Amino acid sequence: MSDQAVISESDALRILAYLTASADTQLFEPDIYGPFRLVEAASQLAGAVLDGEPTENREFWEGVRSSLEDNKFRVIWDRPGFREFVRETPREVAGELTRRDNDRTSA
Amino acid sequence: MSSDRPVYESIRSRRAVRDFTDEPVSRGALERILRAARWAPSAGNRRLHKFVALEDAQAIARIKAISPGMFGEPPVLIVICTDAEQLARENVKDHDTSTMVDVGTTAMCMMLAAHELGLGTCPTTSFSAGGVRGALNLPDHLTPDFMLQVGHAKPLPPGGGGGTKLTIDEITHWGAYPSD
C-alpha cells in the first residue's frame, strides 16, 4: 500500500465541486444518474491520481480509469450492462485492496 | 411535402454535441445566437430571461466543475436565467411550467441559429443552480434554468450520432387517444 500523496489540492477541490453538485442535481434527476455520477467522480479521482504521476501502482489506476471511462456511457445505451458494470467494479477494487494488504502482511 | 426552406433540414440534422474543438466562436456568431433568443416564442410576450455568456476558459471550467451534465469543454457557454423581478412585473405567481416552456423555446431558437452558423450545441440542465449562482455572482432574482454549450464540433467517431427516432405512429394518436 502506497502512502504517496498524488492528488493536488486543486484536483481535490474540483472533485469536491463535482460531488457536491451531483448531490444537488440528484435531488431531482433520475435515480440511475446517481450511480452514473459516482462512476464519473471515480473516474475523475483516478485521472487526478494519474496526473500526479504515481511511482507505484500506476497500472492499477490506469486500468480502473480506462474501465470507468469505457463503461460509464452505457447508462445511456445499455442500462443492464451499466448496472452489471457498477455491480462488478467494487469487486475488482476490493481485490486490489486485498492484494495490497497481503503484500504488506507478507513484507 | 417538399419545401425550399431549410428550417426542417436544420431541425432534422441538429445533434447534441458533447465534444468540441479548441476553435473559438466569433463574437459576431455569439451575438447572432443571442439575437435569435429574442425572437423565441414567449408566453404573453413576457420576456422573462437574462443571459450570461461566458467565453473565458477558466470561467467555463468553474461552471463545468459544478455541472455534472457537462462533459465537453466548449469555448462558449450561455446561461439562460429566468428573472423573478420580470415575473413579478408580469404578475406571474410562480416559476411554473409555463416559464420553463419559455426557457425551452428560447433554447431551441438558439440551438437552431447556432446550427445554421455551423456551430454545435449541447443543451445542459444537469447543474447545481446554487453553484452556478455562486460562480456567476447572480443576484437572487435570477434563476439559472438552462445552459447551452456552444462550439465547433469534433467529428463523430464512425457509427456515432443519430440515435433511435420514434415513428409518427408510435407517438401520435389522430383525433383522440384510443380507449382500451
pLDDT digits (tens, 9 = 90+) for B136-158: 999 999 999 999 999 999 988 76
Q: pLDDT at position A65, please?
A: 97
Work out whether strand B120-124 and strand B76-83 pair parallel, antiparallel, or are unpaired: unpaired
In angstroms, the separation between the Cα of residue B68 and the nearest Cα of chain A is 6
Quick: pLDDT tens for B42-81.
Answer: 999 999 999 999 999 999 999 999 999 999 899 999 999 9
Query: Who wins on pLDDT, B113 or A56?
Result: B113
* 3-state secondary structure at position B122: strand
CA dist list (Å): A103 to A3, A39, A63, A94, B8: 14, 28, 20, 14, 64
Q: How far apart are CA B73 and CA B61, in angstroms?
A: 8
Q: What is the pLDDT of residue B21?
A: 97
* Spatial distance between the Cα atoms of A86 and A71, rounded to a whole number of angstroms: 9
pLDDT at A106: 84
The residues spanned by each domain of chain B are 24-154
Nearest-Cα distance to chain A for B16, in Å, is 14
Report in angstroms the alpha-carbon separations of B66 from A23, A75, B73, B116, B124.
Answer: 10, 20, 13, 30, 12
Question: What does the pLDDT read at residue A56?
Answer: 85
Confidence of residue B41 (pLDDT cuts 50, 70, 90): very high
At A5 the pLDDT is 77
**What number is the ipTM of this complex?**
0.78
Which among A69, A53, A65, A54 is positioned nearest to A92, based on CA atoms? A65
Question: Which residue on chain A is closest to B128 by alpha carbon?
Answer: A21
Do A18 and B68 make contact, defined as CB atoms within 8 angstroms?
yes
Q: Which of B170, B121, B167, B126 is nearest to B17 (CA)?
A: B121
Residue of A18, A19, A28, A45 best to disrupt the B interface, most CBs of B under 10 A: A18
Of A14, A25, A40, Cβ closest to residue B128: A25
Q: Is A21's CB within 8 Å of B69's CB?
A: no
Q: List the grid coordinates of B35.
A: 439575437
CA B88 to chain centre: 24
pLDDT of residue A2: 67
Has residue B33 got a pLDDT over 80? Answer: yes
Q: What does the pLDDT read at residue B66?
A: 95
**What is the spatial distance between Cα B138 and Cα B51, in angstroms, rounded to a whole number?**
11
Between CA B81 and CA B100 the distance in angstroms is 11
User: CA A98 to CA B90: how far, in whole Å?
Assistant: 63
How close is the nearest chain A Cα to the Cα of B67, in Å? 7
- What angle is formed at CA B18 by the lines to CA B12 and CA B24, rounded to 5 degrees? 100
Which residues are paired to B76 by β-bridges? Answer: B150
B32, amino acid identity: R
A23: which 3 cell numbers?
A: 448531490
Q: What mean pLDDT, rounded, does chain B reach?
A: 92
Residue B3 has pLDDT above 70, yes or no: no
Beta bridge partners of B20: B153
Residue of A18, A25, A78 to mutate, testing the B interface (most B Cβ within 10 Å of its Cβ): A25
pLDDT of residue B160: 63
Contact flag A18-B128 (C-beta cutoff 8 Å): no
B129 touches chain A (CB under 8 A): yes
Identify the pLDDT of residue B95. 79
B121 pLDDT band (50/70/90 cuts)?
very high
Nearest CA in chain A to B62: A14
> Distance from A58 to chain B by nearest Cα, in Å?
25
Across the interface, whether the CB atoms of B130 and A29 are under 8 A apart is answered no
User: Can you list the residues of chain A whose pLDDT is less than 50?
Assistant: none
Residue B162 has pLDDT above 80, yes or no: no
The listed CATH number (2.40.50.140, 3.30.2320.80, 3.60.21.10, 3.40.109.10) that belongs to domain B24-154: 3.40.109.10
Please report the pLDDT score of residue A71 as a whole number.
Answer: 96
Residue of A15, A24, A45 to mutate when probing chain B, most B C-beta within 10 A: A24
Searching chain A, which residue's CA lies closest to the CA of residue B131?
A21
Of A14, A21, A29, nearest to B131 by CB-CB distance is: A21
Q: Give every CB contact of residue A32 below 8 A, 6+ residues apart in sequence.
A: A75, A79, A82
Which pLDDT belongs to residue A90? 94
pLDDT of B94: 82
Interface residue B130 vs chain A (CB under 8 A): yes
